[in-house]
Structure 1
Amino acid sequence: MPSLTLSEITYYRSQLADYPDAIIALDEIVVCDGDLDDAAINLALSVGQTPDRTDWLEGLAKRYRVEICQENLINELSQGHIIPVINHLMTTKIGPDILVLPVVLYVLKTGVDEFCSPLNLKIT
């Protein structure tokens, strides 16, 4: 269960001041005591989606995997730069913009290399 501390939330809030959907997502993460899964489910419900399992955020993140795991975005995330990744994912329209930040934070908390490793498997 990935979660954020209040200091992490404060840090991201200052970085994402120009992203209203990200601020709404951060507010929900605060309400959920830093729990990314709970916040993502609440946000999904608020935009008419119907999360049907407790690991719903993991499943949502997997839908973004091909986009997130592009070399340039992996490099950005590895350096802690989330804004280029958020901008890119918002343009893809894979899901509602309000869910992009929880997905990106989930990937960071999971570990970018671990998250992207299924795409590096080669079938022999």
Structure 2
Amino acid sequence: MIITPQELEQYRAELFDHAAALDALRVIEDCDGDLEDAAIALAIRSGQEPDTNDRWIEGLAKRWRHVLCHADLQESLEDGLSGAVVDAISASTEIPAKLVTPVALYVLKSGVQNFCQPLAEKV
């Protein structure tokens, strides 16, 4: 999953007052927009030990799907990435601050509805 330079600029403008989010965006940029590579680098910086290089961010996001797809947060995510979304994810999960932005971007790029569909089918 690739985040384009234009998307990075847009997210920087949205998250100008969130230091951890801006740091995550810098790492994503350093990884040529590759969200997976950036997430693994950020995970290591956060003291995590990713057990695989393939689809690690997907697994992390899925572990928190029950929170990310809660009605209020899902609705906020559907509106796009913002400081309020970053704050809500940080407050509602135990995802390290450096990884909140890549997880949110993963959900957005996957399509919020598509990401939340498996949970909706179980409820």
The Cα of 1:82 is off from its aligned counterpart by 3.2
Match of 1:6 in 2: 5
| Count of aligned pairs between the two proteins | 122
The Cα of 1:81 is off from its aligned counterpart by 4.6
Distance in 2 (CA, whole Å) between partners of 1:88 and 1:75 is 12
Correspondence list, 1:58-69, <5 A: 58-69=58-69
* Identity among equivalent pairs (%): 45
Match of 2:42 in 1: 43
Distance in 2 (CA, whole Å) between partners of 1:30 and 1:122 is 37
Q: Which runs of 5+ in 2 are unaligned?
A: none
Alignment of 1:119 with 2:119, yes or no, is yes
TM-score (norm 1): 0.91
Distance in 1 (CA, whole Å) between partners of 2:70 and 2:30 is 32
The Cα of 1:77 is off from its aligned counterpart by 1.8
Q: Which runs of 5+ in 1 are unaligned?
A: none
Quick check: 1:68–1:85 contact (8 Å CA) kept in 2?
no
Distance in 2 (CA, whole Å) between partners of 1:122 and 1:96 is 27
Distance in 2 (CA, whole Å) between partners of 1:79 and 1:12 is 13
The Cα of 1:122 is off from its aligned counterpart by 3.8
Runs of 4+ displaced beyond 4 Å: none
TM-score (norm 2): 0.92
Match of 2:32 in 1: 33
Equivalent position SS for 1:121: helix
Quick check: 1:25–1:102 contact (8 Å CA) kept in 2?
yes
Equivalent position SS for 1:52: coil
Distance in 1 (CA, whole Å) between partners of 2:70 and 2:95 is 18
